[in-house]
Chains A and B, each alone.
Chain A
Amino acid sequence: MRTACHLQHHAFSRRDMLRAAGAGFGSVALSGLAQAATETPQHFAPRAKRCIFLFMHGGVSQMDSFDPKPRLNADHGKPLPFDLPGLIRPDRLGKVFGSKWKFDRHGECGQDVSELFPHLAKHVDKMSIIKSMHTDGEAHGQAVLRLHTGEANFVRPSIGSWISYGLQSENDSMPGFVSIDYPAMHGGVRLYGNSFLPAKHQGTQIRLRTSSQKVPQVRHLESDLLSTSRQREQVDLIQALNHSHLARAGGDPQLEGVIDSFELAYRMQRVAPDLMDIENEPQHLKDLYGVDGKWTDGYARQCILARRMAEAGVRFIQVATGYHWDHHGNIDNDLPKSAAMTDQPVAALLADLEQRGLLDETLVVWAGEFGRTPVAQIDRGNPGRDHNPHGFTVFLAGGGVKGGFAMGETDEFGYLAVKEKVHMHDLHATILHLMGMNHEQLTYRYAGRDFRLTDVYGHVVNEILA
């Protein structure tokens, strides 16, 4: 259901979109072989120059956050009047389980937000909320892989790699894709892997919350043995050897590639430490995000780093929470903690981007890998909610999406997405679209076939486009 305050949406149909795309770029097939390194294969004007992808690892309960279901509370303790098809272990599920948290309407649009997210509630007028998400995969591994690569059974490039491949980096001293505190489980490297795309599109890993000193760390960026100036001298020496080799070889693109890689490495060494120095942020901003806060410290630092990377022109910045949203049991105690760990930092990120005039060109996506069940899971002492890939909520904000808008519905228990359903592939198509790329045309030839992020699926969710 669309909320009342945003009735005047544009009648911009899929066909119009294709026609518009056709006028400019026709049948551009973006073959990786044909593409020059500097070419940016945008298919139409981008609405966002970059994307910050906030990954709520574990799966957020939609009915306790953005998708209130009065029926759950009314029927609390009663059996669900239908079976729960498509779940792993129906045997461990019990009765209908009401939400413990109060919902209020917020913003000019009057969007419902639960009391667990008081900070985000202040920013609903910036968001497009999709309450009818669905995906495949009842277990974390499958759903997390699908959220990040569109596929679980086969190894495919991650969405950040596709975007880096499509747009290249805006900053020649930084990679196009960084991945902050990503887990080793549930796919591990595949969540930021380039697969068959060129290796420079792999996400550069940064450890922050998970690093020992809570300082952002890129592998091997700094020398333990040499000062910066000494390292420059060392690089100069190596480059002199490389150039002499190249001259003797009479030219060789491979050797030139190594020479370039040393220059980029050195530029990163020069630029990245400052970029990652979040201690330099003014105190009022640290306070806004919740740096040093009991619950908020970790994600606050990650979100500040994400903003700094966005400012520096990195195209895709993905930021994982800890694996703490998976509330199978004891949801009454644990969900408020998970909410507290992220609510203020994410809200601050939206406010900070807006205040800097960056929100218009930065797409922010907030998503878990799936949602949770309307019935209680009862095998863990205090009840919780089990995995539910068939209906859940995500929101997008900033670059090119409507503010104060909500779409889609789950059934009255919040289990199945029923109206204006949006699949994970549709979300991917939409993110690419907002960044100026047609998901059907962003392809890469591998093993004799043209591959896409969305495989043969995906529709742009036109409803949320501003």
Chain B
Amino acid sequence: MDRVIPGFCTALFLATAGNGLAALSSDEAFFESKVRPLLAQRCYSCHSKDEKIKGELLLDSKNGWQLGGTLGPAIVPGDPNKSYLIEAVRYENVDLEMPPKGKLPDHEIAILEEWVRRGAYDPRVDESVGQDREHIDINAARQFWSFQPLEAETIPKVTNPAWPRNESDHFILAKLEQEDLLPTADADPGTLLRRLTYDLIGLPPTSDQVTQFTKAFASDPDTATHSAVDRLLADPGFGEKWGRHWLDLARYADSNGSSFNVVMRSVWRYRNWVIDSFNQNRPIDEFIRMQIAGDLMEWNSQTERDENLIATAYLMMGSKVLGLFDKDQLQMDVVDEQVDLIGRSLLGLTLGCARCHDHKFDPVPTADYYALAGIFTSTRTLNGRIKTPLDDESALSRRGLGPGGDEALQAFLSEHRHAWEKAEDRIYGRSREVRSLEQQLAKADGDDPALRKELEKKRADLAKYEAIWETFPELQEWVLAPMDEAEPADTPIRVRGGATAYGDVVPRGFLQIASWNGQPEVNPEQSGRLELAHWLTAEENPLTARVFVNRVWQKLFGEGLVRTVDNFGVRGETPSHPELLDHLAYRFLESGWDLKALVRDLATSRTYRLATMIESGPTEMGTENRLLQRQNRRRLEPEEIRDTLLQLAGRLQRETRGSVVDHLPLTQVNGEGEAKAKGVTVTDHRSIYQPVIRTSVMDVFEIFDFPNPSMPTGRRADTTVAPQALYLLNSPFVQETTHDFGERIMDPKFGTSGEAVLESIYRSIISRAPTDDEIVIMMPYFKQQFENADLPSPHDRAKMAQALIASTLFQYLD
């Protein structure tokens, strides 16, 4: 579309310039008569200072092509075949075709080739080219707060020493006092216990728990709070709630998503390992190391070995374009996803930016990216050569569990893979057909010989494949897990991110910006993941602990001390309380990365216990509450909404759940309709145990901001949109569960008058009695609409419950 210089203009230019050509040397004459006009006509519109500078390449001066753009120097004088300018105009590389709108005529390509072959004579000198190019100065960049070493902080003095309950409170209060502000009042005990219970286990407290807590709180608030927190930390719900926070970051899912949405049958083991790890209070450094390099770690028992392998599924679950034909591209995309995952979830850096060019904002040169990438090109995530798109997860590396698991799994797969897949597929398909035919036959009046014949045929086929299935040896349990490549190696920079555009080879290693003397060094015999794991969790690493404790803070206080929880780089936000963040991170290291201790400390703090409202006195400017003069109001997450409704209905199953997709065929699964048809059953287990099919998550998840399961997410979106209102008003799930709840509370102990029943409903759903205002709002409406005005019917009770659930009183934690 850039037809800028009409043909006659060029002709005019040549005619004018032609007069003096005889006086020039032949290279000069060739350049002036043929090359310069061609460059001006064909290239300047995108590659000159006067117009645009695409790909950072200038072709309006010799210095421009010498320095080159993002691909490096554009011309190697004398060697057309090594000059990417020539490669581009020849249209040899589909990723690099210039001009983009159409190939040049052959005679023009020949002119450029001739010019380069003759040494690319070029009188157009412009010494200013490249002076504005920035180079990353690592040492200067170390001054940035998040790259500074962690040090012990002094606990600040406060004017009112009676207020703080722990060290964090000192930091918060000191800052408030500096601004002449006072913290607001403490929350009332019912509000506090509701907040604590949701925050720690993702469920509401029972009415009895509220009553007992309120009583204990009246005599000794500190002891009451401590024992409530201890009780909740010991509840298996703690791992289910906090495990889910980690699964957000690990972009956990049971299917690949993307174009080939194959089922990932075994990753539920990872999900349960995460839950168990939090419940057992596995030190977080170990928790991280196992996920990066569990397969390379030493072990003392088979259980430990299996857990080590299961943890590494973290590296495996990225959504991959399995249909990609270009294997090099696919591998580099997989590596990129892994590097980016580690950057975002553990380091708070957007490393993916450095795949194609030095990071624009953060001190991460492309070389650092490929130092890390080399670790993952030396790691097998994809299983061997991918010839054609595969219809199941066998494109991914699988490791057998149990003694001799790898060997047993590989033996099984090499012998039986195809027969196994076919048998699974047929058994699955025929079972459905048989069921459907049986139903049709039952509906048909009398007998239907054709149907019956068809049914017999399908039954026979089903029996045949079941018999084949019986002949297989027992299938080894497995998990998606990587292994080191046989020949680990450093990898070259990929110029401009092109999978096969090789630049200089970079030794495997870590980020220069977070390096120190004596840091781990990559073992050349291995991929380097083990050393990466140790580098990430070393006490010298300035980022990992800071990023982690900030995430914990964010889950308990609504916002992180650094609100950009996944970005601690230059484009991220600086901490509101830098000393507090460093203090917490330092103490966290001292404690041996003890998560429960950290949560206990923060959840029993005075700051955590504050009310969300400020009754009187001066308030912080603006509405952001960065100084934490009060607690932040928080929206319930979709898991909490769903699990609470199931609990109210008396349906919630608290057992853990294993596989959710084992009964599916090994092939693709797409979308809710198909997933349902294929039997991805949603049960009454807690939400964390429900299948996550990447192309289609449950309604309630999708509507209430469940994170996209293909992207690592540290802080979920927090939206208020109309589909949420419609869901709470009209979805079958809300209607069914409130109906069941209405039936459940018919016992006289829930009240024998409208007002008393309303109070029971309030206590069950939001852990407090209605205010006078709320009684005035609710009762006239229901008195008018009740089926039974004196003693509400189950249906009446369901309607009262639904109104409360749809309101902000239920949806938010005050």
Residues of A in contact with B (beta carbons under 8 Å apart): 13-15, 85-89, 137-142, 144-145, 152-153, 155, 175, 183-190, 193, 195, 198-200, 202, 204, 219-225, 231, 233-235, 237-238, 240-242, 244-246, 248-255, 257-262, 264-266, 268-269, 418-421, 423, 447-449, 459-463
Contacts and interface: CB of A to CB of B under 8 A. Distances in A.
Contact of B671 (A89, A183, A266): A183
A379 B392 CA distance: 22
Nearest to A173: B722
Given A187-B695, A241-B777, A241-B807, A463 B1 contact: yes
B538 interface: no
Nearest to A390: B94
Nearest to A87: B325
Given A142-B259, A189-B695, A448 B613 contact: no
B791 to A, nearest CB: 20
Given A88-B325, A246-B808, A420-B102, A254 B730 contact: no
B751 to A, nearest CB: 20
A238 B613 contact: no
Contacts of A141: 258-260, 321, 323
Contacts of B527: none
B716 to A, nearest CB: 11
Given A225-B735, A246-B808, A421 B671 contact: no
B569 A448 contact: yes
Given A155-B711, A221-B726, A261 B720 contact: yes
Contacts of A268: 722, 726
B735 A224 contact: yes
15 contacts: A14-B1, A15-B51, A88-B389, A139-B259, A142-B324, A145-B258, A153-B321, A184-B674, A185-B668, A188-B257, A188-B694, A219-B731, A222-B730, A258-B724, A449-B353
B729 to A, nearest CB: 6
Interface stretch (B294-302, B438-446, B702-710): B702-710
Contact of B803 (A187, A238, A246): A238
B350 to A, nearest CB: 5
Interface string B776-813: 01100100010000000000000100011011110110
B671 A185 contact: yes
A253 B623 contact: yes
Contact of A420 (B101, B362, B694, B781): B101
B699 interface: yes
A130 to B, nearest CB: 12
Given A188-B696, A199-B705, A265-B725, A155 B710 contact: yes
A152 B258 contact: yes
A237 B758 CA distance: 14
B721 interface: yes
Contact of A249 (B103, B633, B799, B806): B633
Nearest to A205: B723
B366 to A, nearest CB: 16
A138 B324 CA distance: 8
A189 B726 contact: no
A118 B362 CA distance: 58
Contact of A86 (B3, B94, B612, B694): B94
A404 B261 CA distance: 41
Contacts of B702: 189
Contacts of B259: 137, 139-142, 144-145, 152, 186-187
Contact of B778 (A202, A237, A257, A448): A237
Contacts of B613: 248-250
Contacts of B324: 139, 142
Contact of A258 (B102, B333, B720, B799): B720
B808 A185 contact: no
A252 B614 CA distance: 12
Contacts of A13: 1-4
Contacts of A223: 729-730
A14 B722 contact: no
Given A86-B94, A220-B726, A185 B321 contact: no
A157 to B, nearest CB: 11
A188 B695 contact: yes
B670 A185 contact: yes
B540 interface: no
B777 A237 contact: yes
Contacts of B388: 88-89
Nearest to B260: A141
A448 B564 contact: yes
Interface residues on B, range: 35 or more
Given A138-B325, A449-B571, A195 B809 contact: no
Shortest Cβ-Cβ A-B pairs, 8 listed: A141-B259, A184-B671, A188-B695, A448-B571, A257-B720, A139-B323, A199-B719, A265-B725
Q: Which residue of A142, A221, A241, A253 has the most chain B CB atoms within 10 A of its CB atom?
A: A241
B727 interface: yes
Nearest to A230: B785
B330 to A, nearest CB: 10
Contacts of A85: 94
A140 B258 CA distance: 10
B727 A220 contact: yes
A193 B633 contact: no
Contact of B726 (A237, A265, A421): A265
Contacts of A222: 730
B102 A419 contact: yes
B807 to A, nearest CB: 4
B656 to A, nearest CB: 28
Contacts of A15: 4, 45, 51
Contact of B729 (A88, A231, A449): A231
B773 interface: yes
Contacts of B679: none
Interface in B1-29: 1-4
Interface string B659-692: 0000000001011111000000000000000000
A89 B3 CA distance: 37
Contact of B566 (A190, A241, A447): A447
B134 to A, nearest CB: 17
Contacts of A139: 259-260, 323-325, 389
Contact of A238 (B727, B807, B812, B814): B807
Contacts of A219: 699, 723, 726-727, 731
Contact of A418 (B100, B102, B717): B102
B731 A220 contact: yes
A242 B3 CA distance: 60
A245 B809 contact: yes
Contacts of B732: 224
Nearest to A244: B773
Interface string B123-146: 000000000000000000000000
A237 B812 contact: no
Contact of A184 (B3, B670, B808): B670
B695 A241 contact: no
B635 to A, nearest CB: 7
Contact of A448 (B94, B261, B567, B724): B567
Contacts of B570: 448
A96 B613 CA distance: 75
A189 B100 CA distance: 32
Contacts of B260: 139, 141
A261 B722 contact: yes
Given A14-B1, A188-B670, A142 B567 contact: no
A447 B695 CA distance: 23
A238 B726 contact: no
B673 A265 contact: no
Contact of B722 (A224, A254, A265): A265
Contacts of B735: 224-225
A187 B725 contact: no
B344 interface: yes
B735 to A, nearest CB: 7
B49 to A, nearest CB: 14
A234 B729 contact: yes
A446 to B, nearest CB: 10
